[in-house]
Copies of this chain bind each other. A is one copy, B any other.
Amino acid sequence: MNDLEKKLRDAGLRPTKQRLLISHYLFSGPQMHVTADSLYSELIDRDINISLATIYNVLNVFTSHGLLREISIDPSRSYFDTNIKRHYHYYFEKTGKLEDISIEELKISPMPEKKNGFDVNCVDVVIRVDG
């Protein structure tokens, strides 16, 4: 059982052919930010033909099982982040690219823990730049 198969099983997911191919693209190299469309195109470029419905299914199920994080940046499409540790983003509005900002680089204080008795699920910071 290889690393990717273990990663999927540990998350409670069946390691199907399509999930493994997508995992290989997403998780075997440097961390990245993808949209459904960018992922679909990149896989097509590598002659990996997975239906767009499956791309959406996999992005959503990976997100709900903690392997990806969804980022709301642009109301016209969802971004998914392979970096699931707490961090923030630069967003380059012209190119649509994202770049990580570590929590050491940018400090928020006081870091909120609760609001009206409700737990804080996450703190999203997006710094929008022209480029």
Which A residues fall within an 8 A CB radius of B?
Answer: 70, 72-75, 77-78, 90, 92-93, 106-110, 112, 114-131
* Pairwise interchain contact B130-A119, C-beta atoms closer than 8 A: yes
Judging by beta carbons under 8 Å apart, are A129 and B124 in contact?
no
| Structural contact, B121 and A124, CB atoms closer than 8 A | no
Stoichiometry, copies per complex: 2
Q: Report whether A112 and B131 are in contact in the complex, using a CB–CB cutoff of 8 Å.
A: no
Interface of A is mostly: strand
A74 cross-chain contacts in B, Cβ below 8 A: 72, 75
Q: Is the CB of B106 within 8 A of A107?
A: no
Q: Is the CB of B110 within 8 A of A108?
A: no
Which residues on the B side are within 8 Å of A77 (C-beta)? 75
Q: Considering only CB atoms, which chain B residue lies closest to A117 in the complex?
A: B131
B contact residues around A116 at 8 Å (CB): 129, 131
